[in-house]
Amino acid sequence: MCGIVGYVGTEPAAPVLLSALHDLEYRGYDSAGIAVLEPDGGVVSITKREGKLANLEAALNALDASAATTGIGHTRWATHGRPSDINAHPHRSCAGEVVVIHNGIVENYAELRARLRAEGHEFVSETDTETIAHLMEGLVKSGRSLLDALRITCSQLEGSQAILAMSPTQPGIIVAARVGNAGGIVLGYGKDEMVLASDLAAVLPRTRQVAFLADGQVAEITKTGARYVNEHGSPVDVPVREIDIDPASALKGQYPHFMLKEIMEQPESLSDTIQSLVSQEPPEVHCADLGPAEARLASIDRVVLIGMGTSLHAAMIGRRFIEELAGIPAEVDNASEFRYRDPILGPNALVVSVSQSGETVDVLEAMNVARAAGALQVTICNTQGAQTTRVAHGTVYTRAGLERGVASTKCFTTAIAALYALALRLGLAKGRLGPGELRERIQDLTRVPDAVGRALDDMGVYTRLADQYHEAEHLLVLGRGLAFPVALEGALKMKEISYVHAEGYAAGEMKHGPIALIDPSFLTVAIATTHALRSKIVSNIEQVQARGGRVIAVITEGDAHVTRLADQCIEIPAVAPLLEPIVATVPMQLLSYAMALRRGCDVDQPRNLAKTVTVE
């Protein structure tokens, strides 16, 4: 969940690291710090501050480190040790021989710490990370290379880790290790420089030539390149690939927040995703990265979809697509439950994981369970080369571009589009879709970006609603059928960024409990679009109103009946029934955003959250 970055090159490292930390700050903002080192060694200069990056930035103004061209930087999401200057990374060993930053949890840190203390090591922080620096120091002092010291240290750590380290005794070198699924490390190959970071966002401004560290690999990086070994110290090849993401997508542009920018980008992200997966003339589904999964699709007789948070909601929608378009029984599971369930998966089961980052630890662990059970796996992912794409047999990529807002928006809607394409592909493999239906379904899909664009037209509606309801502390979001996951997702967005206690409910459940909450101060949002079992949800609206509750309804354009009924309505354009969830998602994204602004919340960095959840 923390952000880590390293730089070895010819430029002063501090500004490069700081700029990269801006790109990584969404991963954690409890504290931030950097350590820099001059090419001929000497003393490592460490600057770190509790709180947001601005505090570190202010402290760095006083630092003259222009000769230091190697450095590491960290932005922290606290696990062990409260947020403070002392607990901020980087951490160093007692003699200052090793400096470390870390993402993950050293599960056996208490034992290691006790052992190291008994050996005379003095600890200054409460973190698990500091043990790594002390362990490495002993090895470096005994003459080991930094690479070996990190590799051997990793073998003593329990849990999943991503680690960067450097040492004044071996200047011009950074070493990096990935153990398990605590998050990736991307290595960027620049001209006379290497930059490495937790994710692409921090690497792309400097280079598009990248490599990804896999589980168990350790790398030694100098300004001219990298060498890699496995956990036993044997050399391994790690392919370098070119990433085709425009680095400009990492900038906020004219928007005040990444979240708003990303909401507004949805027509384009959807269009890019759809065009990469289907064509209209002739009607075809490409899904070019399905790899060895492609040939096995015809034999699939059961599908299990997994994901976490927003991606789980996309999976719930994907389940319906697979049942309706491919006629294959499908179920959905929360990845963090699935991984502990010892699931029964026959040889013809397909596990579809949804993860925009491709690095969420519970999804990766669930995929390991599916792999052990011998299931075919396809992953839906927005990050080229991410870990999920390496575990699965095939990938369906979304083309949302970088998503920087902590609350996921465009990755959700593009994942739904990708799941639709996958369901069509399965429908074809099962011989269930004729050419006529395929043409029609593809046409339906290609109309969606435009409809989403029209749904985004009027921000004024949401500002007015937020003015009226910004003091609401509780909110029920009701949906039926395909609108149920839309309701769950809408409630999640509201909770995450505006801190309103919001619950998404299957509308049919309302009478079984939640109705007791309704009183004149209670606000309900009902997804009452044409294809969301509208007549049934209309009764729910009436039941809420009969108890004095207030209702905002999301309706299909021109629905006069619900317009008369609800207190306020938000209209969205009509699209094909199965694809309505994509368009119906937009109102709650914008309402959550407007509420967060009106309530003075930090939209792009909501409290306690991190964008990629790489710790359990």
591 binds ligand F6R (CB under 6 A): no
C-beta separation of 185 from 162 below 8 A: yes
Using CB under 6 A, which of the segments 3-11, 306-314, 438-446, 575-583 binds ligand F6R?
A: 306-314
Nearest distance in Å: CB 408, ligand F6R: 3
List 277, 308, 541, 566, residue binding ligand F6R (CB under 6 A): 308
395 binds ligand F6R (CB under 6 A): no
List 357, 379, 529, 605, residue binding ligand F6R (CB under 6 A): 357
Active site residue 381: no
Nearest residue (CB) to ligand F6R, 363 versus 597: 363
Residues 155-184 vs ligand F6R: string with x where CB under 6 A? ------------------------------
Q: What is the CA radius of gyration of the chain?
A: 25
Cα separation, 564 vs 348, whole angstroms? 50
C-beta separation of 553 from 570 below 8 A: yes
Q: State the amino acid at position 158 in one-letter form.
A: E
The neighbouring-strand residues paired with 504 are 477
List 31, 271, 311, 414, residue binding ligand F6R (CB under 6 A): 311
DSSP states along 355-390: -SSS--HHHHHHHHHHHHTT-EEEEEESSTT-HHHH
Using CB under 6 A, which of the segments 258-266, 351-359, 457-465, 521-529 binds ligand F6R?
A: 351-359
Nearest distance in Å: CB 496, ligand F6R: 6
What are the two backbone dihedrals, phi and then psi, of residue 374, each rounded to the nearest 5 degrees?
A: 80, 15
Range 482-501, binding ligand F6R (CB under 6 A)? 492, 496
614 binds ligand F6R (CB under 6 A): no
Using CB under 6 A, which of the segments 25-33, 87-95, 305-313, 505-513 binds ligand F6R?
A: 305-313
Nearest residue (CB) to ligand F6R, 306 versus 330: 306
407 binds ligand F6R (CB under 6 A): yes
Cα separation, 146 vs 556, whole angstroms? 62
Q: How far is CA 382 from CA 407, 410, 492, 512, in A?
A: 15, 10, 20, 38
Nearest distance in Å: CB 371, ligand F6R: 17
Q: State the amino acid at position 33 in one-letter form.
A: G
Active site residue 2: yes
**What is the SS3 assignment for 27?**
helix
Nearest distance in Å: CB 296, ligand F6R: 24
**What is the SS3 assignment for 568?**
strand
310 binds ligand F6R (CB under 6 A): yes
Nearest residue (CB) to ligand F6R, 31 versus 181: 181
The single residue of 2, 287, 411, 569 carrying the catalytic annotation is 2
List 336, 384, 408, 614, residue binding ligand F6R (CB under 6 A): 408
- 273-304 as b/e: b if 16+ CB within 10 A: bbebbbeeeebebebebbeebbebbeebebbb
Using CB under 6 A, which of the segments 85-93, 285-293, 354-362, 389-397 binds ligand F6R?
A: 354-362
For 453: left if phi > 0, alpha if psi spans -120 to 50, otherwise beta; the answer is alpha
DSSP states along 239-288: --EE----GGGGS-TT-SSHHHHHHHTHHHHHHHHHHHHEETTTTEE--T
- 211-242 as b/e: b if 16+ CB within 10 A: bbbbbbbbbbbebeebebbebeeeeeeeeeee
352 binds ligand F6R (CB under 6 A): no
Nearest distance in Å: CB 419, ligand F6R: 13
Nearest residue (CB) to ligand F6R, 194 versus 363: 363
Using CB under 6 A, which of the segments 152-160, 195-203, 231-239, 350-358 binds ligand F6R?
A: 350-358
Cα separation, 528 vs 569, whole angstroms? 10
129 binds ligand F6R (CB under 6 A): no
Q: How far is CA 487 from CA 189, 481, 484, 506, 553, in A?
A: 43, 10, 5, 8, 12
Nearest distance in Å: CB 146, ligand F6R: 31
Q: Which residue is nearest to ligand F6R (CB)?
A: 309
List 75, 153, 355, 498, residue binding ligand F6R (CB under 6 A): 355
What is the size of the binding site for ligand F6R (CB under 6 A)?
15
Interface contacts to ligand F6R, rule CB under 6 A: 308-311, 355-357, 360, 363, 407-408, 492, 496, 612-613
Instruction: Cite the active site residues.
Output: 2, 611
